[in-house]
A and B are shown apart, each in its own frame.
Chain A
């Protein structure tokens, strides 16, 4: 009997495909998410929009909250650790969370190194903006990848950009003659071995979700069309007028992303979406997507 194998770590992500993972900050929100059909929840102290508004240092959630959320839902519970903060990650593993998000939404704890995720039994998900970043995270042991997008903005443009970038680079890598692969890997900062795997399989070796700025069922369906395996939604739900209704609509939109008549039906009367932020109005230093190395 073997535990913590890469097949088990990537396997759970395979089971989450076609689903929606929702940020929650209380057991009550976790119940709403589960009842709406979320395939997992992400426990954190504040949703990204509130982290932006509050400023200061954003850290791992209080274990009491994480535990309470684990007690009230039967779906997998994820939690966020700061980039490079392997002790926060060990604490979350000890609590028994099902997945750890080494997340740029929290204030990074290490400005050079990410967590060595290979030594953990619990699987990790990490963010990326391009193929090089995705493959570095996978080489470090990430069992699932998500776009970074620009969290807490309700603006999908960055998630679209990051998703297209990764897909474009995969297509390019697969089309190159053998002799040009090492240089391509060097140029995009990808470990050659993982790049060779992508080339062989024609896709990332792990599940890839969309995240950061998804606010409507149409946004969620758009990301599925661009090739994502599922979506994370944070502020988009609990910063909107009617969270329960919007959550359910986004779950339905991810399943039926290519049935436009149904998407029209799903998108009706959802109440106010979160207000949102124009990306160009965010100073460079405050862009969460720039975090991670």
Chain B
């Protein structure tokens, strides 16, 4: 079987780190900057960065609707931080562009500003022991999730990692650590 070709949305943000993580696990990574780059990809990662910036560029390059259609047809997608925000149906106090494929409500900058950013070891039963080193940078949280959404991890009782069928989202940044378990979990979603 051909290697999984993972698109990494490269409009802005920490896309190189995600590409490096999936490449380390034996998949092929392709930076996606324009609509034509999406041809032939098996999955998509939406990286951390600025959700307003990435959302605007998705609209300007005519990629928002085609990407949404691909996800709705079952293409696996993983969003970290800004990526999670873009996946959500509801964004509190914001009408910014989004994909809206994840049945959840997100609160941006939920922990405060950069001085409130933190690292913590997170229990994620789905990934097994030991706890996952989670890096939260101006991170969002999910304040409400629909019935199809499975919560994979919590911080202070609020969801920070979720899965809804082919959609995976975390409000932290596994790409900033050397722990590849979450990327491996995503690649397994791509082969099943």
Contacts and interface: CB of A to CB of B under 8 A. Distances in A.
B14 A34 contact: no
A98 B119 contact: no
A3 B118 contact: yes
Nearest to B136: A8
A14 interface: yes
A39 interface: yes
Contacts of B120: 1-2
Interface residues of A, number: 38
Contact of B52 (A15, A37, A255): A37
Contact of A12 (B17, B57, B114): B114
Nearest to B119: A2
B88 interface: no
A19 B119 contact: no
B18 to A, nearest CB: 11
Contact of B118 (A8, A97, A252): A8
Given A37-B53, A74-B109, A93 B115 contact: yes
A2 B116 CA distance: 10
A213 interface: no
A19 B13 contact: yes
B126 interface: no
Interface in A241-267: 251-252, 254-256, 259
Interface in A55-110: 70, 74-76, 93, 96-99
Interface in B144-192: 173, 176
Contacts of B60: 252
B119 A96 contact: no
B43 interface: no
B50 interface: yes
Nearest to A8: B117
A211 interface: no
A14 B17 contact: yes
Contact of A96 (B52, B113, B118): B113
Interface string A252-284: 101110010000000000000000000000000
B62 to A, nearest CB: 13
A11 interface: yes
Interface in A6-26: 7-8, 11-12, 14-19
B115 A76 contact: no
Given A1-B118, A8-B135, A74-B109, A15 B94 contact: no
A12 B119 CA distance: 13
A121 interface: yes
A259 B114 contact: no
What interface size band does chain B fall in? 35 or more
Interface in B100-124: 108-109, 112-120
A5 interface: yes
Contacts of B4: none
B119 A18 contact: no
A149 to B, nearest CB: 22
Contacts of B132: none
B86 interface: no
Given A7-B135, A11-B176, A17-B12, A251 B119 contact: no
Given A37-B53, A37-B56, A17 B13 contact: yes
A19 B49 contact: yes
A209 B17 CA distance: 17
Contact of B34 (A12, A98, A251, A256): A256
Interface in B51-85: 52-53, 56-57, 60, 81-82
A38 interface: yes
Nearest to B49: A15
A98 B114 CA distance: 5
Interface of B: 10-17, 33-34, 48-50, 52-53, 56-57, 60, 81-82, 94, 108-109, 112-120, 135, 137-138, 173, 176
Given A93-B115, A122-B115, A251-B56, 5 more contacts: A5-B119, A8-B117, A12-B137, A19-B50, A255-B10
10 contacts: A4-B115, A11-B137, A15-B48, A15-B138, A17-B12, A18-B10, A74-B109, A76-B113, A255-B11, A256-B34
